[in-house]
Each structure stands twice: as C-alpha cells, then as structure tokens.
C-alpha cells in the first residue's frame, strides 16, 4: 500500500486485520510515494502488545508499523512476486511502472503442491495429504504424517 503519511495507520491496521480474518496469511506492505519500503501493517490490535515481536528495534514506531528483524526488503524480489493491487488511482500502478523500469516482464511462479495419497500405518486406510497441509508441515520442519486424521485424533496425548 502506498501512503502519503502515516497519520491514518491505525485505521489501515484495522482494515488489514479485517481482511486477514477472511483471507489468512495476508501481509500489507507500506511504501511512501517514492516506493520506499516503510514496513508492514501489524496484525495485533494493540500496539505495543505484550509480545516478543514488539521488542524488535523500530517496531511500533509509529504504532501498528511492524518491523521484522530477519526481513530485508529487496525491491527486485518483491516486484517479481505476484502482487495484488486492491485499488489504484490510475490504470498503471506505480509498482507496474517500477517493474517496467527494472525490466521485469514476468512474475515468479510458485509451485503448486499436488495432493499426496498416503496409507495410514495404523488402520491401513488411505487419506489425502493436500497442498495446504504440506506447506504447513514443511514450514514447521515436520515430515509428512503417517497416520490418518482419525487415528491422529484417537492418539493419546502427551
């Protein structure tokens, strides 16, 4: 999102949270009019919250502007990513113009993970390990499940 000033960031944060409730994993990046990256809209309602995330230097200055310590903004990588422009004042967005300047002709394609059929090691029933589940497991460093959802549910707790 391109902003002229950060005075309305609390309202922007409110709307970003509302969008995130319906569409998980949304990140709203903020840029000034010169396309300088300012940070991301924080998903927390209160700023600063009682979270480890809020202790990052620069996070919450101004309120609701989230700074991630491990994130380094790279303009080329960002503009090669698929970007959803929700609203633009003119036909050509500034991002599209900047892509043209950088001679970026195609956006990166992300691999679509195909569903995997797995046989449960407990009951022998076949179950589907879908792409969304695969991404979730991979993100957390987990291997694919060996038990079907029913057997996992019946498994005794710790």
The answer, yes or no, to whether residue 65 has pLDDT greater than 70, is yes
pLDDT in tens, 99-158: 788 887 776 666 678 899 999 999 999 999 988 888 888 888 899 999 999 998 888 765
**Rounded to whole angstroms, what are the CA distances from 75 to 86, 113, 132?**
19, 27, 28
- Centroid of chain to Cα 115: 22
Q: Between these two residues, 63 and 157, which has the higher pLDDT value?
A: 63
State the chain's maximal CA–CA distance in angstroms: 59
CB neighbours of residue 70 within 10 Å: 5
Among 86-90, 92-96, 116-120, 127-131, which stretch is predicted with the lowest mean pLDDT? 86-90
Residue of 2, 1, 13, 25 lying closest to 62 (CA atoms) = 13
pLDDT in tens, 1-50: 777 788 888 888 888 888 777 766 677 888 888 888 888 888 788 777 77
Q: Domain residues of the chain, as ranges?
A: 9-101, 116-154
**pLDDT attached to residue 83:** 67
Helix (H) or strand (E) holding 37: strand 37-41
First CA to last CA distance, the chain: 45
């Amino acid at each position: 999102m391109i902003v002229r000033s950060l005075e309305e960031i609390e309202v922007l944060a409110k709307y970003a949270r509302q969008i995130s409730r319906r569409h998980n994993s949304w990140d709203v990046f903020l840029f000034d009019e010169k396309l300088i990256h300012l940070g991301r809209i924080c998903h927390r309602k209160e700023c600063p919250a009682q979270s480890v995330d809020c202790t990052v230097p620069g996070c919450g200055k101004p309120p609701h502007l989230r700074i991630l310590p491990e994130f380094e903004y790279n303009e080329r990588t960002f503009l090669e990513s698929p970007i959803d422009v929700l609203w633009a004042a003119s036909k050509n967005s500034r991002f599209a113009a900047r892509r043209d300047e950088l001679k970026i002709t195609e956006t990166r394609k992300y691999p679509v993970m195909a569903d995997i059929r797995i046989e449960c090691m407990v009951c022998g029933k076949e179950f589907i390990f879908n792409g969304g589940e695969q991404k979730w497991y991979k993100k957390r460093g987990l291997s694919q499940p060996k038990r079907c959802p029913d057997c996992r549910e019946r498994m005794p707790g710790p």
